[in-house]
């Protein structure tokens, strides 16, 4: 293997140490702790694990946290009432509704109901718009985590050919926007892209977020490219794997993120960072 491994676990751990220090100082200065509220509706096992990890993350850095576990048959009115209550609660600085929601609830309506000031996932349309114009408080957690991994690995983005595979609102589109703001020359690919390999082979920095196990193979990657694998897929044997065929691509890339242990650990860390930023905004009366 020739690629250097970007160790998301280690980078995430050092970011959390810094967030914990900043939180300690914040509490001394302002006399209260940042607070995150997480709402989960229904029994999705993967969502339950994510929510538990978010709560643990809060404890680790010294935040207050509350988890609202609502039954599968929660009505739109009940969920809206809880969001309204948390929007009005001054001890809550971040509100997150764990997705996906049960089918009878409209996630777009729910996201729009969260106060943009407390939208630490950065999914609210006003926060999405602010990212477009480069004037933001919060960045969506997964793309923000990728940017930290690149920075901490000393990878310069300016002037580089950056290719993002995937155009979802939570990963692909904001990822492309952040790479553009860092002066990358950015191409976004999706399921209708003609000759995907031809485009991915141009990338100096290739970010893959499609949700298809081991899809990107070495013949689709330029030798020496930086390869960031956002994908999280469960194999039949229960093991987690990315969208990139790590075995072959790590032979030719210059840097690569593993799955697990690459992008994944950064996502909750960025959520904690956003909650601290929100609490600082509240402390300043913004």
Q: Which residues are catalytic?
A: 54, 98, 121
CA–CA dist 283, 25 (Å, integer): 13
Q: Determine if 211 is a binding residue for ligand NDP (CB under 6 A).
A: yes
| Contact (Cβ atoms closer than 8 angstroms) between residue 209 and residue 242 | no
> Any contact of residue 174 with ligand NDP (CB under 6 A)?
no
Q: What number of other Cβ atoms are within 10 A of residue 33's Cβ?
A: 20
Residue 34 Cβ, how far from ligand NDP at the closest point, in Å?
A: 21
Q: Is 192 in the site for ligand NDP (CB under 6 A)?
A: yes
Task: Tell me how crowded residue 107 is: count the other CB atoms within 10 A of its CB.
Answer: 12
Asked if residue 172 binds ligand NDP (CB under 6 A), the reply is: yes
Binding of residue 210 to ligand NDP (CB under 6 A): yes
Which residue sits closest to ligand NDP, CB atoms considered?
168
With binding defined as CB under 6 A, does residue 231 bind ligand NDP?
A: yes
Give buried/exposed letters for 127-154 (b at 16+ CB in 10 A, else e): bbebbeeeebbbbbbbbbbbbbbbebbe
Binding residue count for ligand NDP, defined by CB under 6 A:
25
The 8 Å CB, 24+ separation contacts for 191-200 are 196/165, 196/220, 199/163, 200/163, 200/165
d(CA 255, CA 213): 19
Shorter beta-carbon distance to ligand NDP: residue 114 or 232: 232
Tell me how far the alpha carbon of residue 58 is from its chain's centroid: 16
User: Out of 18, 85, 151, 190, which residue is the one contacting ligand NDP (CB under 6 A)?
Assistant: 190
Residue 233 contacts ligand NDP per CB under 6 A: yes
Structure tokens, 133 = 């114009």
Give the per-residue contact string, 128-167, with ligand NDP (x = CB under 6 A; - = no): --------------x----------------------xxx
Binding site for ligand NDP (CB under 6 A): 142, 165-168, 170-172, 189-193, 196, 209-212, 230-233, 263-264, 267
């Amino acid at each position: 293997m020739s690629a250097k491994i970007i160790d998301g676990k280690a980078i995430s751990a050092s970011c959390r140490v810094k967030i914990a220090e900043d939180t300690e100082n914040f509490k001394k200065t302002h006399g209260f702790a940042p607070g995150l509220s997480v709402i989960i509706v229904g029994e999705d096992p993967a969502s339950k694990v994510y929510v538990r990890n978010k709560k643990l993350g809060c404890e680790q850095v010294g935040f207050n946290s509350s988890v609202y576990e609502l039954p599968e048959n929660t009505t739109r009115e009940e969920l809206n009432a809880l969001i309204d209550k948390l929007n009005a609660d001054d001890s809550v600085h971040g509100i997150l509704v764990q997705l996906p929601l049960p089918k009878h609830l409209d996630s777009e309506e729910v996201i729009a109901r969260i106060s943009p000031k407390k939208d630490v996932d950065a999914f609210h349309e006003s926060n999405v718009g602010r990212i477009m114009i480069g004037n933001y408080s919060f960045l969506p957690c997964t793309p923000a985590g990728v940017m930290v991994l690149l920075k901490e690995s000393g990878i310069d983005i300016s002037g580089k050919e950056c290719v993002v595979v995937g155009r979802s609102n939570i990963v692909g589109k904001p990822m492309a926007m952040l790479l553009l703001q860092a002066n990358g020359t950015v191409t976004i690919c999706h399921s209708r892209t003609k000759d995907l390999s031809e485009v991915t082979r141009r990338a100096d920095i290739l970010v893959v977020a499609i949700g298809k196990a081991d899809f990107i193979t070495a013949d689709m990657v330029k030798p020496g490219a930086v390869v960031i694998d956002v994908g999280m897929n469960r194999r039949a044997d229960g093991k987690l794997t990315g969208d990139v065929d790590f075995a072959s691509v790590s032979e030719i890339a210059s840097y690569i993120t593993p799955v697990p242990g690459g992008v994944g650990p950064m996502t909750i860390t960025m959520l904690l960072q956003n909650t601290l930023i929100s609490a600082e905004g509240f402390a300043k009366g913004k």
